[in-house]
């Protein structure tokens, strides 16, 4: 496939290669703050935090982490929170001292958190108070040696017309526990850490330092830490801004979860690097989103199709009420044709579809703004070399042939944390360059645009979150009534995309004694909600090969034969 094909439709004034980043994320924030100190960096419902104040708070927290909690350059620090200003302060405080943020899904169970803390070697956590119970056993057992805990309400205020969730406005709980109490790790209240007014040591960060471990579920169950540097994260954001012509005037809706690369990059790092404003919501609410877009004149919004579908289902959303919105983009799944047509015809909005994953720091491929194609992964963007290969032989395939997407780009992860086997499986050498194997099967059309066809690896895409069936199956086998289980993707919620489906053979003694809802409820008590099966089907037997291997692909094909919703990949 000629890599020059799509260059015919390259956006005007967008360079084919960008200079390598020269500053750390912290240094980029300082540049924005020096340029516009009083400008709102973050808006949280009715509250505003200026760039100057964001820097001040991040410096204070950084100093506390250094001097009182012993965090040094290169140490890993867990972050567990819904979207809020404190998450941003915490994230940049970690960057300020050259440490590494380990962002946990807010739906993480104690087992999830224990694995990530143990695997990363993190000793300290910064967490929202309502999520502390998942971490409490780790603190009590000494696996974590300290926590700084905050209440969203301390940096939130109401806004006329918007119903701020009660849990966001919940008052601060008395959680503080001094060091040495019962031999357990200390728990410090956020305000106490800020009041200490500790001054951090001089900034020694370098652009190629490790700054993020983003855990992505593995095909065999346990999550693996995807390593990103200041350079890889910025390469993705810089390319996105150039491709989409974004500048400091951007007012960005930040509602996709910040612990996920879609939200972290598009809702936090991008506006702060530009010197724009991020309008934040703690959790998705289509009515509140509409009010915030109108009130703050939001111009840019990156969201998965599921969120977009829900937003435009609100009858109050009219073209006039969201006239400020100039760019609506995202991925996670292909935008259904009917929805794309409605956006274009009724609102004059072209949903700018793209493609990426945790390993590519979000942005990788994108449709040109002036020549998009629907249900399309777009073209390789600035500095990206993507190709289609035969997954078995590594041979590069011709235009139109279906094979695995492999990519070489400055935003590609430097590897997996302490996991050389994962590195060996994920990377391949082509023409002397290191390419990431995405595990996604696609073809390239005559114009050089990539179209998803299937997945090489078993994976369920739940609103942009990767769920690996092997992990869920392993947990289901712990249920005393389950004899055999096979997990596949089901699209049972219309435009809401894929959900986890478990096809189960019950033990003889349990047949007729256990129903689907009992399995679902049991699973939700043992895994993150998005991983738990939404659909359970009981069968007498699972299809198997002559060697006894469960034929999961056959079950998936049967499921998809009644499903026309297209699939995509994370961005």
**pLDDT, tens only, 235-249:** 999 999 999 999 999
Same domain, 271 and 143: yes
> What CATH number is given to the structural domain containing 34?
3.40.50.12780
Structure tokens at 315: 């009858």
Q: Give percent above pLDDT 90 in the chain.
A: 71
* Model pLDDT, residue 78: 98
Nearest one of 217, 209, 225 to 420, comparing CA atoms: 225
The answer to which of 2-11, 172-181, 375-384, 454-463 has the lowest mean pLDDT is 2-11
* Model pLDDT, residue 546: 54
In a domain, 449, yes or no: no
Close Cβ partners of 424 (under 8 Å, ≥ 6 residues apart): none
Q: Do residues 231 and 253 lie in contact, with contact meaning Cβ atoms separated by under 8 Å?
A: no
Using alpha carbons only, give the angle 427, 432, 438 rounded to the nearest 5 degrees: 25
Sign of CA dihedral 343, 345, 349, 354: positive
Angle between helices 85-96 and 51-67 (to 10 degrees): 60
23-44: b (≥16 Cβ within 10 Å) or e: bbbbbbbbebbeebeebbbbbb
Query: Average pLDDT, stretch 550-561?
Result: 82
* Model pLDDT, residue 562: 63
Same domain, 332 and 466: no
List the domain range (segments joined by +) for residue 472.
Answer: 460-560
Residue where one domain finishes, among candidates 296, 315, 347:
347
Same domain, 210 and 81: yes
In a domain, 377, yes or no: no
Nearest one of 55, 98, 102, 97 to 80, comparing CA atoms: 102
CA–CA gap between residue 269 and residue 32 (Å, rounded): 12
Concatenating the DSSP letter of every residue in 77-111 gives: EEEE-SSSHHHHHHHHHHHHTT-EEEEEPTT--HH
Structure tokens at 37: 């100190």
Residue 565: pLDDT over 50: no
Question: Terminus-to-terminus CA distance in the chain, angstroms?
Answer: 23
Residue 221, Ramachandran bin (φ over 0: left; ψ between -120 and 50: alpha; else beta): left
CA–CA gap between residue 144 and residue 78 (Å, rounded): 10
Residue 195, Ramachandran bin (φ over 0: left; ψ between -120 and 50: alpha; else beta): alpha
In a domain, 135, yes or no: yes
Structure tokens at 154: 């301390």
> What CATH number is given to the structural domain containing 472?
3.30.300.30
Residue 458: pLDDT over 60: yes
Query: 100-104 and 124-128: which strand pairing?
Result: unpaired
Query: Average pLDDT, stretch 437-447?
Result: 92
Structure tokens at 174: 């008395």
* Model pLDDT, residue 496: 55
Q: Do residues 431 and 408 lie in contact, with contact meaning Cβ atoms separated by under 8 Å?
A: no
* Model pLDDT, residue 492: 54
- CA distance readout (Å), 552 to 485, 517, 544, 555: 10, 22, 8, 5
Query: Average pLDDT, stretch 303-313?
Result: 85
How confident is residue 571, by pLDDT bands cut at 50, 70 and 90? very low
Residue where one domain finishes, among candidates 282, 316, 347:
347
In a domain, 443, yes or no: no
pLDDT digits (tens, 9 = 90+) for 371-404: 999 889 999 999 999 999 999 899 999 999 999 9
Query: Average pLDDT, stretch 162-170?
Result: 93
The answer to which of 91-105, 118-132, 156-170, 443-457 has the lowest mean pLDDT is 443-457
What residues pair up with 50 in beta bridges, in sequence order?
Answer: 40
Q: Give percent above pLDDT 70 in the chain.
A: 92
Structure tokens at 351: 């949903």
CA–CA gap between residue 329 and residue 372 (Å, rounded): 12
Beta strands in 398-455 (DSSP E): 403-408, 415-416, 427-430, 433-444, 450-455
CA–CA gap between residue 152 and residue 166 (Å, rounded): 10
Residue where one domain finishes, among candidates 347, 382, 407:
347
The CA radius of gyration of the chain, in Å to the nearest whole number, is 23
Nearest one of 422, 402, 395, 426 to 412, comparing CA atoms: 426
Residue 234: pLDDT over 90: yes
In a domain, 418, yes or no: no
How confident is residue 333, by pLDDT bands cut at 50, 70 and 90? low
Residue 416: pLDDT over 90: yes
Residue 342: pLDDT over 80: yes
CA–CA gap between residue 200 and residue 64 (Å, rounded): 8
284, 229, 238, 250 alpha-carbon torsion, rounded to 10°: 40
CA–CA gap between residue 99 and residue 553 (Å, rounded): 42
Same domain, 476 and 336: no
CA–CA gap between residue 91 and residue 85 (Å, rounded): 10
In a domain, 477, yes or no: yes
Same domain, 466 and 329: no
Query: Average pLDDT, stretch 528-548?
Result: 83
In a domain, 5, yes or no: no
Close Cβ partners of 392 (under 8 Å, ≥ 6 residues apart): none
* Model pLDDT, residue 407: 98
Helix (H, G, I), strand (E, B) or coil at 444: strand
Close Cβ partners of 390 (under 8 Å, ≥ 6 residues apart): 396, 397, 403, 404
Task: Residue 8: count other Cβ atoms within 10 Å of its Cβ.
Answer: 11
Count of domains forming the chain:
2
Residue 568: pLDDT over 90: no
Higher pLDDT, 561 or 266: 266
In a domain, 106, yes or no: yes
531-545: b (≥16 Cβ within 10 Å) or e: bbbbbbebeeebeee
Residue 439: pLDDT over 80: yes
pLDDT digits (tens, 9 = 90+) for 84-141: 999 999 999 999 999 999 999 998 999 999 999 999 999 999 999 999 999 999 999 9
Read off φ and ψ for residue 391, nearest 5 degrees: -65, -20
Residue 219: pLDDT over 70: no
Query: Average pLDDT, stretch 441-466?
Result: 83
Query: Average pLDDT, stretch 251-262?
Result: 94
CA–CA gap between residue 475 and residue 109 (Å, rounded): 13
Query: Average pLDDT, stretch 48-70?
Result: 98
- Which position has the token pair 């809020």? 84
pLDDT digits (tens, 9 = 90+) for 353-377: 999 999 999 999 999 998 999 889 9
Same domain, 326 and 473: no
């Amino acid at each position: 496939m000629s890599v020059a094909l799509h260059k015919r439709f390259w956006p005007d004034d967008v360079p084919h290669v960008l200079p390598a980043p020269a500053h750390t994320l912290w240094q980029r924030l300082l540049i924005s703050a020096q340029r516009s100190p009083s400008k709102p960096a973050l808006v949280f419902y009715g509250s505003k935090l200026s760039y100057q104040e964001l820097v001040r708070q991040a410096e204070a927290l950084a100093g506390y982490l250094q001097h009182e909690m012993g965090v040094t350059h290169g140490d890993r620090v867990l972050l567990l929170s819904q979207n809020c200003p404190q998450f941003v302060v915490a994230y940049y405080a970690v960057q300020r001292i050259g440490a590494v943020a380990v962002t946990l899904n807010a739906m993480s169970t104690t087992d999830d958190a224990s694995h990530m803390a143990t695997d990363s070697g993190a000793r300290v956590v910064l967490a929202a108070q309502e999520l502390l119970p998942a971490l409490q056993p780790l603190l009590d057992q000494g696996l974590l040696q300290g926590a700084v805990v905050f209440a969203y309400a301390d940096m939130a205020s109401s806004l006329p017309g918007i119903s701020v969730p009660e849990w966001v406005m919940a008052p601060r709980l008395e959680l503080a526990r001094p060091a040495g109490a019962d031999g357990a790790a200390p728990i410090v209240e956020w305000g106490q850490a800020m009041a200490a007014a500790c001054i951090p040591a001089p900034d020694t960060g370098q652009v190629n330092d490790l700054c993020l471990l983003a855990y992505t579920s593995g095909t065999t169950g346990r999550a693996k830490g995807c390593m990103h540097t200041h350079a890889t994260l910025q390469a993705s954001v810089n390319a996105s801004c150039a491709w989409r012509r974004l500048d400091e005037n951007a007012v960005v809706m930040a509602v996709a979860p910040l612990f996920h690369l879609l939200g972290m990059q598009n809702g936090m790092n991008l506006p702060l690097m530009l010197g724009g404003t991020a309008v934040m919501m703690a959790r998705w609410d289509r009515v509140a989103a509409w009010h915030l877009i109108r009130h703050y004149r939001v111009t840019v919004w990156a969201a998965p199709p599921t969120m977009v579908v829900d937003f435009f289902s609100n009858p109050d959303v009219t073209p006039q009420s969201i006239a400020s919105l100039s760019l609506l983009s995202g991925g996670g799944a292909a935008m259904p044709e009917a929805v794309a047509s409605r956006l274009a015809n009724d609102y004059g909005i072209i949903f700018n579809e793209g493609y990426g994953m945790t390993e590519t720091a979000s942005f990788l491929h994108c449709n040109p703004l002036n020549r998009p194609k629907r249900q399309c992964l777009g073209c390789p963007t600035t500095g990206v070399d993507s190709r289609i290969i035969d997954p078995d032989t590594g041979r590069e395939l011709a235009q139109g042939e279906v094979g695995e997407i492999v990519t070489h780009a400055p935003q590609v992860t430097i590897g997996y944390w302490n996991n050389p086997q994962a590195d060996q499986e994920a990377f391949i050498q082509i023409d002397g360059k290191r390419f990431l194997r995405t595990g996604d099967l696609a073809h390239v059309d005559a114009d050089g645009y990539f179209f998803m066809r299937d997945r090489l690896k078993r994976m369920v895409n739940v609103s942009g979150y990767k769920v690996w069936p092997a992990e869920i199956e392993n947990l289901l086998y712990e249920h005393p009534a389950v004899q055999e289980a096979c997990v596949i993707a089901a699209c049972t919620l219309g435009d809401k995309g894929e959900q986890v489906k478990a096809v189960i053979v019950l033990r003889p003694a349990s047949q007729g004694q256990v129903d689907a809802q009992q399995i679902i409820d049991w699973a939700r008590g043992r895994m993150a909600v998005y991983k738990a099966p939404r659909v359970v089907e009981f069968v007498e037997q699972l299809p198997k090969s002559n060697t006894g291997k469960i034929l999961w692909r056959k079950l998936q094909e049967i499921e998809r034969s009644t499903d026309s919703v297209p699939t995509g990949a994370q961005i």
